[in-house]
Chains A and B, each alone.
Chain A
Amino acid sequence: MGLPLRLNRHTRFTATVILFLAPTFIGLFLFQYLPLITAVRNSFYHYNLLEPDARTFAGFANYRRLIKEARFRSSLGHTVVFGVAKVVIQTPLALALALLVQRTTRRATIVRSAIFAPVVTSVTIIAVIWNLMYDPEHGLFNTLLIAFHLGKQPFLTSAGQALPAIIAMSIWQDAGFTMLLFLAGLQGIAETFYEAAAIDGANHWEQFRYITVPLLMRTILFAVVTTTVFSFQVFTPVYVMTKGGPLDATRVAVYYIYETAFVFLDMGYASALALVLTALLLIVAVGQSRLLRSRFEY
């Protein structure tokens, strides 16, 4: 290195630490802390990118506006529906999948790879393909429904079915992710528990109910929190498949923030929306951890 040989050990140590950490902290400052501070500041301003010089202090006006705004409330409602449906359906489904494929047999390995595939595929591509699968005229789903003599469905073109259709797709994609968490959790359960229970005459259900579930509680909590966090961030499927429609039925919170910021260029208000969404997410995630922990820790 370019340092003079005579520098003492301590100086060289300090210089190395600074050199090694500098890229990280420059990056984090520029791309994390600075934007965060800017977001907080912007949320107190009327700030439209169309006329960036006309920025005026707004006090809490942006926050008062979002409390009153029905569109924000309804977008938040869609996000909550999305999140609750995901947690409630995906968590038990993923556990069932983990139990199904936890063996090391060849067949289980193939099934596991199939479930794993959507996890590493981009949300974008999956939304694009499912968009075609949901197509009312030529989509795969209606082909199957007709083959089984069930009625054709409008799916994404119906205000009632669009959000459930996106939820179904999202569960299909993410179930494998939660399954991976459960597979790791299942490994942590010692074989001897099951052997002891089997000797005591416990059947499979009882073993599941009184050994697997209680010992997996930490993993279940982790799965619920991660699913919730991802759900609050849902954006891409809506952008690709419905653009928030039909009749605003799929306008989720992040899509609304995106529109406010990059379609209406209303940066001040969008920042306030984003910060409030984050605060709500933090409250929910912390609440979930507390609730599940207090009820199930033993």
Chain B
Amino acid sequence: MRTAPSLDHLDRLPAAPTVHAQPVGRRVISKSAEALGMTFVTLIFATPFLWMLFSSFKTTGDLFRYSYPLTWKTFIPPSPTLANYESIFVRWHFGRNLLNSLVVSSAQVAATLIICSLAAFVFARLRFRGRDLLFGLVMLTALIPFEVNMIPLFVVVRSLNIQDSYAAVFLPWIASPFGIFLLRQSFIEIPHDLDDAATVDGASLLQIFWNVTIPSARPALVTLAMMSFLWSWNAFLWPLIVIQNPTKQLIQVAVATFTVPQELPAWGEIFAASSIATIPVLILFIALQRYYIRGVVLSGVKG
């Protein structure tokens, strides 16, 4: 399950094209067919996002008035307004949820990086009896599905007396078998000469870890930071279970509960809140997609 496809040349993704000699006429036709296909695909994947973003600037009246027939007003707000944004921050206290998520995600990223890199250092750079057994015990937990764990995990968190707190949301995930696996892969590749030189100079293991290993593995650390941020930022089921106090609730659960069945739908607010939860992260991840893709290909984990 964890055997990844070829990892060679990941940094050069995507691969060079294979262009074959073809009669010129046919090539022009297939070129334009390809261009058409690409435009179509882009529209299919981008439209829901654009609809969400543009609609967030519509007045409630316009949202429903121009929903059909299909005109430019179905997408573009005829009289743009920030009322929806004002409403979510003033009436729904969405700023609070946003802040909660920022705090939890930062904490989760920082703690994951520290804990996983310490463990990965041991598994990648040190030799002792029982090491592989311990690593096996770590990786075994990757097979435990969340559905099995969520029920007793809730009980564990309750008995630790940390339910309804930030810690309860992120603590269970920071010792991540995926993170340890990912960093170990990258730590293994660092040449041993550097360690040896440092050891001769009398450096402790902690100094080697901090001064040699960590600086040499920046890309892998960025990958793990991005993936753990995404897990945390996008988490839904666990915060839904573990947080009862609405002022401590996280962004995803808050957005989902704007949709209250049998109530007047707050479409404008939903569009505004969804845009805030999505668009900044999206821009960041598209810019840094190289690092994220590395993690995906290496692990088959989506985040």
A100:B41 contact, CB within 8 angstroms:
yes
- Among B79-87, B143-151, B188-196, the one that faces the other chain is B143-151
User: Do A28 and B9 touch across chains, with their CB atoms under 8 A apart?
Assistant: no
Q: Across the interface, which residues of A come within 8 angstroms of B285, CB to CB?
A: 116, 120
Give chain A residues whose Cβ lies under 8 Å from the Cβ of B151: 35, 39, 42, 261, 267, 270-271, 274
How far in angstroms is the closest Cβ of chain B from A72? 14
**For the complex, is B1 an interface residue (Cβ under 8 Å from A)?**
yes
Chain B residues whose C-beta falls within 8 Å of the C-beta of A144 in the assembled complex = 70
Within 8 Å by CB of B118, from A20, A26, A130, lies A20
Q: How many inter-chain residue pairs (CB < 8 Å) link A and B? A: 313
A28 adjacent to B138 (CB under 8 Å): yes
Residues of A within 8 A of B217 (CB): none
Any chain A CB within 8 A of the CB of B286?
yes
In the complex, whether A83 has a CB less than 8 A from a CB of chain B is no
Q: Does B234 make an interface contact (CB < 8 A)?
A: yes
Bound complex: CA A96 to CA B126 (Å):
44
C-alpha spacing A125/B292, complex, angstroms: 20
Instruction: Tell me whether A131 and B259 are in contact in the complex, defined as CB-CB below 8 angstroms, given that A27-B115, A185-B5, A187-B9 are known contacts.
Output: yes
CB atoms of B171 and A27 under 8 A apart? yes
| A21 with B289: CB separation less than 8 A | no
Q: Chain A contacts of B41 at CB under 8 A?
A: 97, 100-101, 111, 114-115
Closest Cβ of chain A: how far from B262's Cβ, in Å? 12
Is B230 an interface position by the 8 A CB rule?
A: yes
Chain A 116-143 per-residue mask, 1 if CB under 8 angstroms from chain B, else 0: 1111111111111111110001111011
Q: A102-B17, A114-B42 are in contact. Are A122 and B282 (CB under 8 A)?
A: no
Q: Say which residue of A36, A113, A186, A225 sits within 8 Å of B289 (CB atoms).
A: A113
Tell me if B18 and A122 are in contact (CB < 8 A).
Answer: no
- B67: chain A residues within 8 A (beta carbon): 137-140, 143
Whether the pair B14, A24 counts as a contact (CB closer than 8 A) is no
Interchain CB contact under 8 A, B46 and A114: yes
Residues A35 and B156 in contact in the complex (CB < 8 Å), given A17-B126, A258-B237: yes
Given known A-B contacts A104-B17, A267-B151, A124 and B234 have beta carbons under 8 A apart: yes
Contact A120 B282 (CB under 8 A): yes
Given A27-B171, A143-B74: A275 and B6 interface contact (C-beta under 8 Å): no
Q: Kindly state whether residue B51 has any CB partner on chain A within 8 Å.
A: yes
Nearest Cβ on chain B to A192's Cβ, whole angstroms: 10
Judge whether B144 and A32 touch: CB under 8 Å.
Answer: yes
Q: CB < 8 Å: which of A38, A100, A113, A138 contacts B156?
A: A38
B161 part of interface (Cβ distance < 8 Å): no
Is B203 an interface residue, CB under 8 A from the partner? no
User: In the complex the two chains form, is A128's CB within 8 Å of B274's CB?
Assistant: yes
Contact pick for B234, options A38, A122, A232, CB 8 Å: A122
A140 and B51 contacting across the interface, CB-CB below 8 Å: yes
Chain A 211-232 per-residue mask, 1 if CB under 8 angstroms from chain B, else 0: 0000000110010011001101
Classify chain B's interface size.
35 or more
The answer to whether A110 has its CB under 8 Å from any CB of chain B is yes
Within 8 A of A (CB), among B43-68: 44-49, 51-52, 63-64, 67-68
Whole-angstrom distance from the CB of A279 to the nearest CB of chain B?
10
Q: CB-CB < 8 A to A1: which residues of B?
A: 204, 206
Residues of chain B in range 220-257 having any CB-CB distance to chain A below 8 Å: 230, 233-234, 236-237, 240-241, 252-253, 255-256
Contact with A along B128-168 (1 / 0, CB 8 A): 10000010011001011111111111011000100000000
Q: Point out the residues of chain A lying under 8 angstroms from B234, CB to CB.
A: 121-124
> Would you list the 3 A-B pairs with minimal beta carbon distance, nearest first?
A27-B175, A188-B6, A122-B234
Listed A/B pairs (29) with beta-carbon separation below 8 Å: A1-B204, A31-B153, A32-B144, A38-B155, A39-B151, A100-B41, A101-B14, A101-B41, A102-B14, A122-B233, A124-B255, A128-B255, A130-B48, A137-B67, A143-B69, A144-B70, A146-B70, A177-B296, A185-B6, A187-B15, A198-B20, A222-B5, A233-B146, A239-B237, A239-B256, A257-B147, A262-B241, A271-B152, A278-B147
Which residues in A have some Cβ–Cβ distance to B below 8 Å? 1, 12-14, 16-17, 20-21, 23-28, 30-36, 38-39, 42, 97, 100-105, 107-108, 110-133, 137-140, 142-144, 146-147, 172, 174, 176-177, 180-181, 183-188, 191, 194, 198, 204, 218-219, 222, 225-226, 229-230, 232-233, 235-236, 239-240, 243, 254, 257-258, 261-262, 267, 270-271, 274-275, 277-278, 281-282, 285, 289
User: Given known contacts A1-B206, A116-B286, what 7 new A-B pairs fall within 8 Å (CB)?
Assistant: A16-B205, A100-B37, A124-B234, A138-B68, A147-B68, A267-B151, A274-B147
Which residues from chain B sit less than 8 Å from chain A, CB to CB?
1, 3-10, 12-18, 20-21, 34-35, 37-38, 41-42, 44-49, 51-52, 63-64, 67-70, 74, 114-116, 118-119, 121-122, 126, 128, 134, 137-138, 141, 143-153, 155-156, 160, 171-175, 177, 180, 204-206, 209, 230, 233-234, 236-237, 240-241, 252-253, 255-256, 258-259, 261, 265, 267, 270-271, 274, 277-278, 281-282, 285-286, 289, 292-293, 296-297, 300, 302-303
